[in-house]
Amino acid sequence: MNTTSFVTGGAGFIGSHIVNHLLKQGHKVIVLDDLSGGDKDNINPEAIFYEGSILDVELINTLFEKYKFSYIYHLAAYAAEGLSHFIRNFNYQNNLIGSINLINASINHNIKCFVFTSSIAVYGTNKLPLTETQYPQPEDPYGIAKYAVELDLLNAHKMFGMECGRYIYESNFRE
């Protein structure tokens, strides 16, 4: 199989499990992580690791050019629930602008599918149980950033046909 997958946040708990699964499926796996929340020891030695940030546009573009990714698994984020009111710039840079850097590169390189890990924070404090069919109502900058990425992915799908690994209920998005 000549499939190359890019995993951001691949040194974290969930990211490292995705890396292991992809390697078992025969993918060549490139991991990008700034190690702010993950551990290098979590990364499977069969993966190719780059220590860096999704904010580094030059690095992102270099990796996309070099490896010709088929799939993007975007797990890199700064989990800022409860704190994001006080670190707005940091939150939006890491959780929104970094994601947009990846979406731009994905569109420019015609990737097959972009898998994004969002957050329950996009739903705010809606009535339980929460489901993906509920209308998002984020209540803090962290949830707003995650929801903005969902909206941008929906736009990338509509405008460029980019497939997204998270089914986005279009009925939830008022146009």
Looking at the structure, give the CATH architecture of the domain made up of residues 4-172.
3-Layer(aba) Sandwich (3.40)
Higher pLDDT, 99 or 85: 99
The pLDDT value given to residue 172: 45
Segment 2-54, tens digit of pLDDT = 899 999 999 999 999 999 999 999 999 999 999 999 999 999 999 999 999 99
Q: Domain segments of the chain: what residues?
A: 4-172
Higher pLDDT, 173 or 135: 135
28-33 and 4-8: which strand pairing?
Answer: parallel
The pLDDT value given to residue 120: 80
Given pLDDT bands bounded at 50, 70 and 90, which one contains residue 165?
low
| 116 SS3 class | strand
Check whether 169 has a pLDDT greater than 50. no
The pLDDT value given to residue 148: 95
Cis status, amide bond into 129, omega within 30 of 0 = yes
For residues 124 and 138, the answer to whether their CB atoms sit within 8 Å is yes
Check whether 168 has a pLDDT greater than 50. no
Given pLDDT bands bounded at 50, 70 and 90, which one contains residue 171?
very low
Q: What is the mean pLDDT of residues 75-99?
A: 90
Segment 111-152, tens digit of pLDDT = 999 999 988 888 888 677 877 778 888 889 999 999 999 999
Q: Which residues are catalytic?
A: 142
